[in-house]
Amino acid sequence: MPNFLFRRAKVAVRTLALRAATFRAAAAAVVLLSLSLTACGGNASGTSDSDKPVVLTTFTVLADVARNVAGDKLTVESITKAGAEIHGYEPTPGDIRKASKADLILDNGLNLEAWFGQFVEGLDVPHVVVSDGVEAMSISEDSYQGKPNPHAWMSPVNVQIYVDNMVKAFSGLDPENAAVFKANGDAYKAKLQGVQDEMKASLAGLPESQRALVTCEGAFSYLARDAGLKEVYIWAVNAEQQATPQQITRAIEYVKAKQVPAVFCESTVSDAPMQQVVGATGAKFGGTLYVDSLSEADGPVPTYLDLIRHDAELITKALAGTSTATPGAKS
């Protein structure tokens, strides 16, 4: 399993052993499953309580976008749950069982789901990369230098391309409802454009000296580009979220030099490294941003449109100094 063994040396050997065990178990489950399907001559499509085709996405953001396109014509589910880390996720035997019953699998691509190739290997289910056609930005730091930044959905304009890819894929899956998917997709694309315009207008009000977005993961490149912000981060991709002292020092030096008023971290990782930056600089902790996962339905970002609105508002308030999230340590 070479895809797993490329993990950095700082990842404990124990973790690798656990991952190997997970995959051995998962592979065994697939064998058992295909045996049982053969034995009962089972139909691999649909769920027990619905005849609708099943679309399985890798994470919650894609599931929400896909539901907006699918309407009530398809059943859309996410492999990872709300709040889960996506980059280094370890699929369970249950995930593989679910995937083998799906009619279509959607992944983000751009190396977001490091585990995906191994996950779909051996499954007889079509999959579509929804970021196809997006102009990828490159990562400029650390060992990921030159690789595509996977977080293309942080630009709602890019998500319009995701929607086009979904309309095409769903129409292939369920041709009778092609017109419905097209109409749903067009309506949702208008909402995406609306939230993009809102986000840009909200962040456009920040003065030049406060236009720096300092986060844990380098996940905001597309949003920062669209909004005209300088992006600074501790680590490039969450697959290696144990920040090195050098990475923390780099962020501290930037925050001090530019007198950045507030810094942020994301919902799916520990904010401890960023709290170190806060402690060393006097910048405020601006709050929790959402990027790699939606929240639960009763949380702050149950939908993708909520995610963009929430992040834009939090960033604007904290950098403009009007946030009440954390008492200011800065004099």
Binding site for Zn ion (CB under 5 A): 219, 238, 292
DSSP symbol at 81:
P
238 or 303: CB nearest Zn ion: 238
Closest CA to 115 of 253, 22, 245, 9: 22
**Range list of H helices, the chain:** 2-5, 13-40, 60-70, 93-101, 116-120, 156-173, 178-204, 221-227, 245-258, 272-281, 304-320
d(CA 206, CA 288): 19
Closest CA to 265 of 275, 255, 251: 275
Query: Can you tell me which residue has the tokens 């995701």?
Result: 162
Least distance to Zn ion, CB of residue 318, Å: 20
53 or 150: CB nearest Zn ion: 150
Q: Are 76 and 55 in contact (CB under 8 A)?
A: yes
Least distance to Zn ion, CB of residue 239, Å: 9
Alpha-carbon distances of 225 from 14, 265, 288, 305, 319, rounded to whole Å: 39, 18, 20, 18, 17
DSSP string covering 135-181 = -PPBP-SGGGTTSBPS-GGGSHHHHHHHHHHHHHHHHHH-GGGHHHH
Least distance to Zn ion, CB of residue 238, Å: 5
218 or 286: CB nearest Zn ion: 218
26 or 134: CB nearest Zn ion: 134
Q: Closest CB to Zn ion belongs to which residue? A: 292
91 or 185: CB nearest Zn ion: 91
238 or 267: CB nearest Zn ion: 238
Least distance to Zn ion, CB of residue 30, Å: 27
Least distance to Zn ion, CB of residue 87, Å: 6
Least distance to Zn ion, CB of residue 85, Å: 8
Least distance to Zn ion, CB of residue 237, Å: 6
Q: Are strands 230-235 and 262-266 parallel, antiparallel or unpaired?
A: unpaired
74 or 236: CB nearest Zn ion: 236
